[in-house]
Amino acid sequence: MFHGLDEGAGVFSKLLLCAVCLTSAMQTYQIHRGAGAGFLLQALAPLLESAAPFAAHLGLGWLPGSLDGAWVSTAVGLSLLAFAFHWLSGDHFTANILLGGVLLVAASSGYLREEGKAVVAHSVTMVASITILIVSIFTGNAYGIAGSLLAGTAGLLAGTELQRLLMLRKRDALCCLMAAANLTWRWGIRVQHQELESVGLLAETFD
């Protein structure tokens, strides 16, 4: 019984994260291409994981193997979100440094062992969360702060040896936390864009 509940919760949590990221990509694409791409890439990993059990029945033998590289899309996606927050706040230098660094890591992912991949994925989650938190504090973006705290909590819990969180398997609980983080980040990007537009309109008024 519990095995069936765990499997159902696992599918639901992955589909929830995928749905949140896909809708966020659609709603932020016009605001900032980097944010839209970041949400889209984050939807890729849970989508592949949800589809993997059905791949064998459909003759898609390549799908389970592609899960090994799914962490790269999550890492690049999170970095693109951090890039978008910094870019919208006017800190273009930090935005480019963050994006360039993670792209170099992604390009060398083929040389990393499993332990190295786990460390890199964990590090990217924490760095993206901290940098978005910092820029959100300085810009007064409450949604950005909340999303960073949620993603940071997920990153910290991922490094623990806990098996369950709130009756859920740890990986399913982490998916739910990241879904909530991405949802609040979506709102944060929209708020930051609205503030940017209001500043532009104010400048035009004084001109």
Whether the predicted pLDDT of 206 surpasses 50: no
Render pLDDT for 155-178 as a digit per residue (tens, 0 to 9). 888 878 777 777 788 888 889 999
All residues at 6 or more sequence positions from 152 whose CB lies less than 8 Å from its CB, including other chains: 125, 126, 129, 130, 133
Share of the chain above pLDDT 70, in %: 84
C-alpha pair distances (Å), 64 with each of 47, 54, 58, 74, 163: 12, 10, 12, 17, 24
Q: Which two tokens stand for residue 80?
A: 């693109």
Confidence band, pLDDT 50/70/90 cuts, at residue 204: very low
Q: How far apart are CA 61 and CA 49, in angstroms?
A: 14
Residue 54: CB atoms within 10 A of its CB come to 10
**24-53 pLDDT, tens per residue?**
999 999 899 999 999 999 998 888 777 666
**H or E segment to which residue 165 belongs:** strand 164-165
Q: For the chain, give the percent of residues with pLDDT over 90.
A: 38
Predicted local confidence at residue 120, as pLDDT: 81
Structure tokens at 172: 């399913």
Return the closest-CA partner of residue 41 out of 131, 128, 119.
128
Q: What is the pTM of this model?
A: 0.86
pLDDT in tens, 121-135: 888 889 999 999 999
**How many Å is the maximal CA-CA distance in the chain?**
68
DSSP-derived secondary structure letter, 160: S
* Residue 23 pLDDT: 95
**Tens-digit pLDDT profile for residues 51-73:** 666 655 655 554 555 555 677 88
